[in-house]
């Protein structure tokens, strides 16, 4: 499949040059060929066969009803529930868990005729910035397998970057779609919070999590977003606002738009190659007719500490249900308390344990007001600063990550790892839409450009990203051919 887009594959299907079953088989072969470096966790064989057959019938019998995703193969992150397919959230504590239902976002893709082929690796319970926290081993970056693909949705980013599938699904709690997209040189879109239902997503931090796509083009991201977006009564945080048409707005360009450049996002800490690539991208947007305006988001420096109080607190509450009694790993001991302790002690990895302890502390008696309540107040300040910025500009543009993909094992202390998301997590705290698109290379590794928009202005974000993408060659760049690998992956 190489770099064929959804639109290109759809054209092949409609001409009769390929069938959904053939495309799914090609994707499976491609995924198997990169399994040593970019392993998926499992294949969805029975579901793949059913969906490919259904898509073929739609294309043959009612082609006018076939949308752009009908017959297109895809992969999805191991935190999204599909009935009858194991979902482990990258954790030993859920290994073997078979969901009894399918989440809304996945169901809407199935209804659109898309064909799932595989479940991708991720950091355990979506907690990490490198995909090194998975209980089932790390994933390599297709541009350099010795480096990380980013996290937590690193597996989903890697399989699209490597050309195995045209799109995949990830989740973004503090940058877990946009940062891997930046590291792997693909498009990664985090919609407005509440725009896509979280029903069927194994929660990390419920007020921050959002499902979104990795794709080879912004147009493809628009198609996948449109298929999944919309109100869902089963998700109390789902927005009831009508979904704005997206695809037809992509071609409007940025002529006459005012794009804000956050001063704090271009400050010290950016690698020189990242700064150079982003500055060139900003100059290109200006050539396309946009006016660049410097803006300030002064609470940015407080975003990291705010996030790492709120997210672990919600994680602590959400993961309390992983008790070894109702589902997943069960370590039997004489008392119920010992069963809980042993099951969670053996089932959770070190990063998950760290965040549970941080969150439990922040929510504990005597510390709730000092930490969690105060963090929520700062979160409100961050959101208000974004709102004020959008009074004078249409969208914000910045680096996605201050660095390019780093070597595996390079970020051994938690703080250095957490700092990788410093430019993405404020967007989650404010519930805004954001996308990362390729904007250059630094030392042979991809650099990402981030576009951020006001709440529910997902179409505007995609419009800006599409204008830049179509005027530059970076989205067409492919990783170098993967080296031959022998032996068992680490």
DSSP 371: I
Short-list 43, 63, 60, 52, CA closest to 23: 52
77 catalytic per annotation:
yes
5 touches 219 (CB < 8 A): yes
Catalytic one among 88, 129, 130, 152?
A: 152
> If you search the block for the tokens 């919070």, which residue do you land on?
193
Catalytic one among 134, 176, 401, 436?
A: 176
Distance CA 453, CA 440 (A): 22
Annotate 327-344 with DSSP letters as a single string. Answer: SS-----SSHHHHHHHHH
Backbone angles phi, psi at 445, to 5 degrees: -120, 145
3-state secondary structure of 209: coil
Catalytic one among 77, 190, 408, 411?
A: 77
Contacts (Cβ under 8 Å, ≥6 apart) of 448: 178, 179, 181, 182, 183, 185, 188, 399, 400, 401, 436, 437, 438, 439
106 touches 59 (CB < 8 A): no
Distance CA 254, CA 436 (A): 17
Short-list 88, 92, 60, 56, CA closest to 72: 56
**Could you give the residue numbers annotated as active site?**
77, 152, 176
């Amino acid at each position: 499949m190489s770099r064929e887009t959804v639109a290109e594959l759809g054209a092949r299907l409609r001409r009769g040059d390929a069938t959904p079953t053939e495309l799914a088989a090609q994707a499976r072969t491609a995924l198997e060929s990169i399994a040593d470096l970019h392993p998926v966790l499992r294949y969805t064989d029975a579901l793949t066969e059913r969906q490919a057959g259904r898509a073929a019938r739609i294309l043959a019998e009612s082609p006018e009803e076939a949308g752009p995703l009908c017959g297109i193969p895809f992969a999805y992150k191991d935190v999204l529930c599909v009935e009858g397919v194991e979902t482990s959230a990258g954790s030993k504590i859920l290994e073997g868990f078979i969901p009894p239902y399918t989440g809304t976002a996945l169901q809407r893709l199935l209804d659109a005729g898309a064909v799932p082929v595989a479940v991708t690796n991720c950091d355990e319970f979506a907690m990490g910035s490198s995909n090194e926290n998975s209980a089932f081993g790390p994933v390599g970056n297709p541009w350099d397998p010795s480096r990380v693909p980013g996290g937590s949705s690193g597996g989903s980013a890697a399989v699209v970057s490597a050309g195995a599938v045209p799109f995949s699904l990830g989740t973004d709690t503090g940058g877990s779609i946009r940062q891997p997209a930046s590291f792997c040189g693909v498009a990664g879109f985090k919609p407005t919070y509440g725009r896509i239902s979280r029903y069927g997503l194994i929660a990390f931090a419920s007020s921050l999590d959002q499902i979104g796509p990795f794709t080879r083009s912004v147009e493809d991201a628009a198609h996948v977003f449109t298929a999944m977006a919309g109100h869902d009564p089963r998700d109390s945080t789902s927005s009831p606002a009508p979904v704005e048409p997206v695809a037809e707005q992509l071609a409007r360009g940025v002529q006459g738009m005012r794009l804000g450049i956050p001063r704090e996002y271009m400050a010290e800490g950016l690698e020189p190659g990242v700064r150079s690539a982003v500055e060139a991208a900003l100059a290109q947007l200006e050539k396309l007719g946009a006016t660049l305006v410097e803006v300030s988001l002064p609470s940015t420096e407080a975003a990291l500490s705010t996030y790492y109080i709120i997210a672990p607190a919600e994680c602590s509450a959400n993961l309390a249900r992983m008790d070894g009694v109702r589902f997943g790993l069960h370590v039997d001991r004489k008392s119920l308390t010992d069963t809980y302790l042993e099951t969670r002690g053996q089932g959770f990895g070190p990063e998950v344990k760290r965040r549970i302890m941080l969150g439990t502390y922040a929510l504990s008696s005597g510390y709730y007001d000092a930490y969690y309540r105060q963090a929520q107040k700062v979160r409100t300040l961050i959101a208000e600063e974004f709102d004020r910025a959008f009074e004078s500009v249409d969208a914000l543009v910045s680096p996605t990550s201050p660095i390019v993909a780093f070597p595996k094992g390079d970020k051994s202390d938690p703080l250095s790892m957490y700092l990788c998301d410093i430019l993405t997590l404020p967007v989650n705290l404010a519930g805004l839409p954001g996308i990362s698109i390729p904007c250059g290379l630094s030392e042979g590794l991809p650099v990402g450009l981030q576009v951020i928009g006001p709440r529910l202005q997902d179409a505007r974000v995609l419009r800006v990203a599409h204008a830049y993408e179509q005027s530059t060659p970076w989205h067409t760049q492919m990783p170098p051919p993967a080296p031959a690998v022998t032996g068992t992956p680490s």
